Every structure is written in structure tokens, then in C-alpha cells.
Chains A and B, each alone.
Chain A
Amino acid sequence: MKIWKQTAREMAVIILAACVTGTVLNLVLPGGYVFVSKETVSYRKISMISADEARLKYDGRTALFIDARDPAEYEQARIPGSVSIPAEPESISLQGIRANFDLLQGPRELVIYCSASSCESSETLARRFIHMGYSRTLYIIEGGLPAWQERKFPLETARDRRGD
């Protein structure tokens, strides 16, 4: 009986040693696993695309464009057919997502844009989508609306709507 107790203890030590060795080897050797949080994995679904790539999606009518800027900026100029869901403040943003939920869950890919390359609203909004259960890839236009405007891609302005 005593010998079996000792054997069991030794087996536990061997298993523990294997756990420690395995973890260390996984860190040191190539071809191992990289452990990341679930959040990081889900945020990998956010993909940056250039204005030219966004234009291809626009022409193919395969994407729904989301304007993450202020509603006032959206009223001034926007990509035709885009939907306004401001990234901030949070309450308005969530309200916008809920109001457009059916549209967002439709077959079209989502392309988000904001006002400049440094603006983080697109990413903030993309993260809100992921938190609310959106599971497909989300695209963000690198350089935002200015990059789109620079290339003279279609734009709908307040003046156009007034018919001037």
C-alpha cells in the first residue's frame, strides 16, 4: 500500500514536471502556441482596407458603408448610400446599432469610415459591433473619408441634396 502511495506521488510529480516543461518549451521553441485573449481573437476580425479596395466593394454593391463620425459631419458629406452610426457617445452609438440591426445583419459586408487616418471612431464602432455579437469581418477604410475624397470617389454633399 505504501509503495503505491509513493508511486502515485511520483506520478503526480512527473505530470507536474511535464506541465512546466511543456509550458517552457512552448515559450522557447518555434512552432508552439501563442496564447491570446478571446478579445484579441475577436478583434482580429477588424481589417483595414485602402480607399481603392473600399471603392471595389462600393462598385460591386457588396458592402454597406457605415459613417462613424458625428451626425453633423455626416450631413455635410458622406459616401452615397452610407448609414450614420456615430461611434460616440456610447448611448447614441448603441441606439444606432439597434435601429439598423436588420441592415447590419444582412448579407452585405460592413465597411466603416471616419474623418481622418488618426481617428479611432471606426475602430471603436467596430468593437461595439463585435461586443453586440457581430461575427463576420469588419472593414475600416484606412485614411477615412479624406482618403476617399482625395481619389475623387463618389461623394454626397449637403449641397447635392439641396439640388444646387
Chain B
Amino acid sequence: MGMIRNFARSVVYGNQLTALLRVLCGALFLYSGFFKVLDMEGFGRVVDMYAMLPSALVPYVAIVLPSLELILGALLAAGYRIRAASCLSMLLMVVFTVAIMVNIARGANFECGCFELSRFGIPERIGWPLVIRDAALFAVFGLVLQARRHLFSLEYYLEKRTLSTL
């Protein structure tokens, strides 16, 4: 029991697992942002299906969101500006979850266009499993945000280098 508690404390503080989760989430954002950026108009049509924004705003969201995912993905995977990147990722998860929940309430049934996982045959239709998944991702980003140590990160490397020069 004590071992599990110690491991949990170590994850919260920031160990290899925390780093792995951060890199995986970064890779997920990079992957989804890459495919969205290749077809921004197609992504715009998905955004429009949520019926949450005025049509005039949809193209702007379809242009900015994939790039935001790419930048957040790169920052998280490389481990640079982790605090800001994980904070923004949490905000994104809140926005995605609310949009999905509103559409569940409306009885909508379409591919959510979230992480382009349907390319691997993983269904991403609007539904409660997606809400749970996004909530889990929100928790992971929260874990990364509050971690004090980020192994295998550019920040960790730079900090070590600065300390060694003192």
C-alpha cells in the first residue's frame, strides 16, 4: 500500500510516467493538428456541425485551432513552456467537452473530428465515451500542470545546465 502511495506521490511530483504522459499528449496534439491543418475547410465543416458558433466565425476557428494544437503538441512533447501549454490544453479540453455535451443533449450523432483517430478505426462519434475521454485528458493535463519536475524535457535540461554553470 505504501509503495503505491509513494509511486502516486512520485507521479504527482513528476517522474518518468508523468513525462511519458506529457509526451504522449503532445504527440496526440501533433498528430491531430497535422491532419486538420491539411484540410482546414473540411475541419471547418466539422466545427460548423457543432452549431455552437456563428457561421462567420467558423473559418477563423478552423484556421487557428489546428495550429494551436500543433504548437501545444510541440511544446508538450519537447517540454518547453509546459505550464502555459498544459493550462491551454486544459482549457481546450473544457471547450471540447462542453461542445460535445451540448450536442449529446441535442441528440446529434456525427464524427467529432477531435483527434482524427477514426483513421485508425477508433470511432469518435459524439457520445458519453468521448466526454469521459476528454475528462481523462483534462486530468492528465492537470497532472502535468502541477508537476514540479519534468523529466525528459527541454526545461529540465536548460535548468540543469543553468545550475551547473553556477
Binding site for B on A (CB under 8 A): 3, 7, 10-11, 13-15, 17-19, 21-23, 25-26, 29, 31-33, 35
Given contacts A7-B87, A25-B37, contact A33 B72 (CB under 8 A): no
> What residue in chain B is nearest A9 (Cβ atoms)?
B84
A26 to B84, CA, bound (A): 25
On whether the beta carbons of A10 and B66 are closer than 8 Å, the reply is no
A residues near B62, Cβ cutoff 8 Å: 33
* A–B complex contacts, Cβ < 8 Å, 25 sampled: A7-B83, A7-B84, A7-B87, A11-B88, A14-B71, A14-B81, A14-B85, A14-B88, A15-B68, A18-B64, A18-B65, A18-B67, A19-B64, A21-B71, A22-B63, A22-B64, A22-B65, A25-B37, A25-B66, A26-B40, A29-B37, A31-B38, A32-B40, A32-B41, A33-B41
Given contacts A14-B72, A18-B64, A22-B63, contact A29 B84 (CB under 8 A): no
Interface of B: prevailing SS: helix
How many pairs, one residue from A and one from B, have CB atoms within 8 Å of each other in the complex? 68
Further pairs besides A22-B63, A22-B67, A32-B41: 14, Cβ < 8 Å? A7-B83, A18-B65, A18-B68, A18-B70, A19-B64, A21-B67, A22-B64, A25-B37, A26-B40, A32-B40, A32-B63, A33-B41, A33-B62, A35-B59
A25 to B87, CA, bound (A): 25
B44 part of interface (Cβ distance < 8 Å): yes
A residues near B44, Cβ cutoff 8 Å: 33
Contact code string B51-73 (vs A, CB < 8 Å = 1, else 0): 00000000100111111101110
B42 part of interface (Cβ distance < 8 Å): yes
> What residue in chain A is nearest B64 (Cβ atoms)?
A22
Task: Say which residue of A17, A23, A35 sits within 8 Å of B71 (CB atoms).
Answer: A17
A7 to B42, CA, bound (A): 33
B residues near A33, Cβ cutoff 8 Å: 40-41, 44, 59, 62-63
On whether the beta carbons of A31 and B39 are closer than 8 Å, the reply is yes
